[in-house]
Amino acid sequence: MQSGRSHCLHGLQWLYSMVMKRMRLLSDSGPFSQRKGPDPVPTPGDNELLDAYSRAVVGAVDKVSPAVVNIEVVQVKGQSARTAPKELQGAGSGFVFAPDGFILTNSHVVHGAAHIRVALPDGRSSDASMVGDDPDTDLAVVRIGLANLTAVPFGDSASLRVGQMVIAIGNPYGFQTTVTAGVVSALGRSLRSQSGRLIDDVIQTDAALNPGNSGGPLVNSRGEVIGVNTAVILPAQGLCFAIAVNTVKFVAAGLMKEGRIRRSSIGVGGQNVPLHRRIVRFYKLPVESGVLVQSVEPGSPAEHAGLQYGDVIVSFGGAPVAGIDDLHKFLTADRVAIPVPLAVLRNTQLISLQVVPGEKPP
């Protein structure tokens, strides 16, 4: 009897010791552990990933930042016979894209400027002359006469993918190499310019644009310009936009060649209007809206074509016109002096006209 009681006692002691040992192990390694010691060392994979990201950003900034400039402008407004002229100062960013002094920036930074001065990251500064600007795409080219300039290469915005890392670099108010990094949030956006036309193929990114960053480059990890920073939606966070570099290439070439971008015009003022569903079904129209003609300029191509107040344009060159933005897209430089068929609704009748667009005045 005594022997059985002894074996039972030894068994309980062994069980108790095992339970306590297990509890100590859980206490030392569990979430409530009070053990002191150094923090866990990150895995090599995490370090390598962080280093790769950092190297990409630093490498791109080192390559591009010597070409990013600060632009200061003076505009003269309010001059009349009774009032003295008033000088307004503004600033923005830009970047050298050709070693002989050509600089890209936003049109809204330099448009109408009486005086433009450019400051380089190396401390040099120079007055700049206006080569040309295009408010319809919010792009402009200015030129300085300094030597030994670093130019940044262009990339290809058609190869961009949503989620790709991008870096926005600016020189706002003289704070050199202001850098933000993010990703491409969306492609193919449209943004309305100050002239009222839509800018197509706009890049949306969450790389924050600081005040004064307008006109600076948006670059990829290789240090190639894939966009020109142009706008930020102030009430929202992370909604920033850049003009795609493939658009920039076309506009910059035109500005350097002629000082402006040629477009065609037919000489009408209008607004978007919905079409009656019966008319859409009867004529089998591919659109349910059109452009209501509200004014026709005297002597314009529209007047010569027979367009009248109240007509609704529904087709241009055989392509449907659902609104003014569609009409703007079709009125390109290659349409100048080329007869184009025009379909309009006059009252309830669908009639065909022919218009010969002229060149839009600068």
Examine the residue annotation and report whether 28 is marked as an active-site residue of this protein.
Answer: no
**For residue 197, what are the domain limits?**
49-261
Measured distance CA(17)–CA(13) in Å, rounded: 6
Question: Do 228 and 301 belong together in one domain?
Answer: no
Measured distance CA(64)–CA(328) in Å, rounded: 35
Residue in 93, 157, 193, 214 annotated catalytic:
214
End residue of a domain, out of 207, 236, 261: 261
Residue 9 has pLDDT above 70, yes or no: no
Q: What is the CB-side half-sphere exposure of residue 13 using CA atoms within 13 A? A: 6
Q: How many degrees, rounded to 5, is the angle at CA 88 between CA 83 and CA 92?
A: 165
List the beta bridge partners of residue 181. 167
Residue in 133, 136, 138, 311 annotated catalytic:
138
Residue 264: how many other CB atoms lie within 10 Å:
20
Work out the burial of residue 141: count CB atoms within 10 Å of its CB; fewer than 13 is exposed, 13-18 middle, 19 or more buried. buried
Examine the residue annotation and report whether 214 is marked as an active-site residue of this protein.
Answer: yes
Question: Do 114 and 131 belong together in one domain?
Answer: yes
Measured distance CA(111)–CA(102) in Å, rounded: 16
Residue in 108, 133, 134, 265 annotated catalytic:
108
Question: Do 277 and 225 belong together in one domain?
Answer: no
Question: Do 248 and 296 belong together in one domain?
Answer: no
Question: Do 87 and 141 belong together in one domain?
Answer: yes
pLDDT of residue 328: 87
pLDDT of residue 49: 59
Per-residue pLDDT reduced to its tens digit, 25-73 = 555 555 444 555 555 555 555 556 567 888 889 899 999 999 999 999 9
Question: Do 94 and 140 belong together in one domain?
Answer: yes
pLDDT of residue 32: 46
The model's pTM is 0.73
Q: How many degrees, rounded to 5, is the angle at CA 160 between CA 154 and CA 162?
A: 145
Using DSSP, state whether 7 is helix, strand or coil: helix
Q: Exposure string (b/e) for 328-342, b if CB count within 10 Å is 16 or more?
A: beebeeebbeeebeb
End residue of a domain, out of 208, 229, 261: 261
* Total number of domains constituting the chain: 2
Residue 99 falls within a domain, yes or no? yes
Per-residue pLDDT reduced to its tens digit, 76-114 = 776 655 666 677 788 889 999 999 999 999 999 999 889
Q: What is the CB-side half-sphere exposure of residue 143 using CA atoms within 13 A? A: 13
Q: Can you count the helices (H) and strands (E) in the chain?
A: 7, 20
Average pLDDT over residues 281-294: 94
- Residue by residue, DSSP assigns 15-70 as HHHHHHHHHHHHHHHSTT-----PPPPPPHHHHHHHHHHHHHHHHHHHHHGGGEEE
**What separation in angstroms does the CA of 322 have from each of 51, 312, 339, 354?**
50, 10, 21, 19
Examine the residue annotation and report whether 138 is marked as an active-site residue of this protein.
Answer: yes
CATH of the domain at 214: 2.40.10.120
End residue of a domain, out of 261, 285, 305: 261
CATH of the domain at 298: 2.30.42.10
Give me the residue label for tokens 């002894």: 6
Quick one: what percent of the chain has pLDDT higher than 70? Answer: 81
